[in-house]
Structure 1
Amino acid sequence: MRLAFMGTPDFAAASLAEIAAAGHEVVRVYTQPPRRKGRGKAEQKTPVHALAETLGLDVHTPESFRDPDVLADFAALDPDLAAVVAYGQILPQAALDVPRLGCLNLHASLLPRWRGAAPIQRAIMAGDELTGVQIMQMEAGLDTGPILLSETVRIFPFDTAGSLHDRLMATGAQMWPRALAALERGSLEAVPQADDGATYAKKISNEEARIDWRQPAETVANQIRGLSPFPGAWFEWPADKGAVRVKAHMAKAEDGEGQPGLVLDDGLLIACGEGAVRLTRLQREGRAAMDADDFLRGRALPAGTVLS
């Protein structure tokens, strides 16, 4: 089939690689424009952009798909369909109507649970035991279209947003060849989403990243795992020259009692509103993440300290 691909991050690049390897004609790749990043503020292409160039594919980086010229240019491609994965723009109805077979989107949750921008993080933060990846037919609503193909993925107690992201990325990418082959045969059944049970995975705010020790230990541990490695749940580590921001990247709930924020032993067991969490992987601002034993060398946090 002739298709356009729309995506931006690593999560999307894996899907583009699988689609191209399956032999479909990718007539154009759309991705977000290069942005200036890093200390030197050098302009960096997105992972999808870089991969598309390696594959010799035509790449366009429009600022907005609502631009009439962008829409006209897209229509001129006359694609059979568009495959969309974490593109970063909401497509207007005029764009959704262009491909003969419509626009298909890969989403990292079991819809209608966790529609929106941050489904991987929200699933872990909520303590979900299962999530998944689904390919759906796109429509004007936010992740409301009928489901075409679905795979369920377990969330393990040791999962972080990073580890779950990688598993979902691989699973989702491998679904595209099956979905496109079934679509060509006319055997892909569209199943409407349930009318109830919808939840929304809003973008993670800066305020949510700070650890609130007054929450139950399970909630705190899930927050830490759900925000690891980015943006990272953080707290202030007391120091002689003022508090230092430290990110917690891994934690587990344990038994323990005390004032919320009270350090209960010399191994980073911190009292919460209910129970306690043991921090097992941390990162000082501007430094690399490391296991707790290594982190504590030269940075003791003795029992009895109270974290704010």
Structure 2
Amino acid sequence: MTGLRIIFMGTPEFACPTLQALIDRGENLVAVVTQPDRPKGRGQQMQAPPVKELAQKHGIPVMQPIKVRVPEAVEEIRAYAPDLIVVVAFGQILPKALLDIPKYGCINVHASLLPKYRGAAPLNWCIINGETETGVTTMLMDVGLDTGDMLLKKTTPIDPDEDARSLHDRLSAIGAESLAETLDLLVAGRLVPEKQDDTLTCYAPMLKKELGCIDWNDAPLKIKNLVRGVTPWPGAYTYLDGKLLKVFRVRTADGSGAPGSVLRADKSGIEIACSGGSIFVDELQLEGKKRLPAAEFLAGCKLVDGMTLGSRGTAVEG
């Protein structure tokens, strides 16, 4: 426990382990700031962010400004007189007026090894780009996008078959550990901020649904990394007889054929040709159906060698 008055700013599930760590440490959490409730699911029922649910469970006051940069929101935060603001995947850019409020500044937990992968979706893009390691960086926030001085880094390898869901869970736990260690160093006066080298940075933009569309003209490893990086959201997909076909788990292989063509469809998997090799699809889901292993999928949906997967309406027998 540091004895500091702390405001926590975060929204999704990724932020919850860090908030829970602060609660478990007995920190003086004077408020939590999170995004507004949003409609979700087929029924579009209003749903609270995971961070709000956790905060309310522990009786912590919650703020949900539509825009945190408006003067009214900044002044409400100022009224709590925080010594420190901890930010984890909040989802809005903080204005300088807010950054300047706490005595010890605003410390962000970022899911990459800065200065690489600044932006909204670092853990996804490191998988899509075929990185073999990543990690978490705590940093002192400034007005730039993930440009503040680095405080602490923790590195972890990325398994070649790991997807974004698994990496998300591991990095959220590492983030909680990193923040706790950063706080201990802060109160001990042993934090040493380090400037980022802007020449080493790359950008990790927000994910869009169309990113998940598989281009069968890509190489096998590129397709595998895309599938891993967009699972569970926005999800990788192609089309079969004009219907959306979601793809969840794949393996690279060395088959050959016209990109997108079915080379094999049996109990060993569904093999699809791509550029310079092939991909075995081990788990998939046809539009309107359940997510299934390849063998079960084939029991209800026959694929013929030579069929071509691709854009909507192209999957026909060759």
Equivalent AA in structure 2 for residue 253 of structure 1: T
Shift of 1:195: 3.1
Letter in 2 for 1:298: G
After superposition, residues 106-145 of structure 1 pair within 5 angstroms as 106-145=109-148
Counterpart in 1 of 2:6?
A: 3
Provide, for residues 237-291 of structure 1, a one-character-per-residue CA deviation record: whole Å limited to 9, x for no partner: 12xxxx2101111112111111100111113111111211111111233444222
Specify which of 246, 268, 271 is matched with residue 269 of structure 1.
Answer: 271
From 277, 280, 284, the counterpart of 1:278: 280
Correspondence list, 1:1-308, <5 A: 1-238=4-241, 243-266=242-265, 267-308=269-310
3-state SS, counterpart of residue 265 of structure 1: strand
Q: Secondary structure at the match of 1:235?
A: strand
The question of whether the paired residues in 2 share the 8 Å contact of 1:216 and 1:275 is answered with yes
User: 2 CA distance for matches of 1:272 and 1:132?
Assistant: 31
More moved, 10-19 vs 279-288: 279-288
CA-to-aligned-CA distance 1:11-40 (integer Å, 9 cap, x gap): 001110001111110000000011111222
Determine if contact 1:209/1:234 at 8 Å carries over to the other structure. yes
Once the two structures are superposed, what CA deviation does each residue of 1:88-126 show, in whole Å capped at 9, x if it has no partner? 110001100001000000111111111001111101100
Q: What is the CA-CA distance between 1:206 and the residue it aligns to?
A: 2.7
TM-score, normalization by structure 1: 0.96
Query: Aligned-pair distance for 1:175?
Result: 1.8
Structure 1 residues without counterparts, runs of 5 or longer: none
- Alpha-carbon distance, 1:55 to partner: 0.7
Q: 1:17–1:284: structure 2 CA closer, same or farther, 3 Å change rule?
A: same
Structure 2 vs 1, CA of residues 286 and 16 (structure 1 numbering), >3 Å: closer, same or farther?
farther
Q: Secondary structure at the match of 2:124?
A: helix
| CA drift at 1:177 | 1.7
TM-score, normalising length: structure 2: 0.93
Give the RMSD, CA atoms, in angstroms: 1.1
- The equivalent of 2:313 in structure 1 is none
> CA 1:286–1:190 in structure 2 vs 1: closer, same or farther (change >3 Å)?
farther
Q: Name the aligned partner's letter for residue 260 of structure 1.
A: P
Equivalent residue letter for 2:247 = A
1:297 counterpart SS class: helix
Structure 2 stretches lacking a partner, 5+ long: 311-318
Corresponding residue pairs, total: 304
- Is contact 2:209-2:235 (8 Å) kept? no
Percent of aligned positions with the same letter in both sequences?
A: 43
Is 28-37 or 201-210 further displaced after alignment?
A: 201-210
**Could you list the per-position Cα deviations for residues 118-165 of structure 1 after superposition, in whole angstroms to 9, with x for gaps in the alignment?**
111101100000110111110111001111111101111110011111
Q: Retained in 2: the 8 A contact 1:227–1:249?
A: no
- Maintained 8 Å contact 2:208/2:234: no
CA distance in 2, matches of 1:134, 1:77: 27
Amino acid across the alignment from 2:141:
M
CA offsets 1:164-219 (integer angstroms, 9 cap, x no match): 11111111112222111111111111111123121000112232211110011111
Amino acid at match of 1:283: Q
Distance (whole Å) between structure 2 residues aligned to residue 298 and residue 283 of structure 1: 11
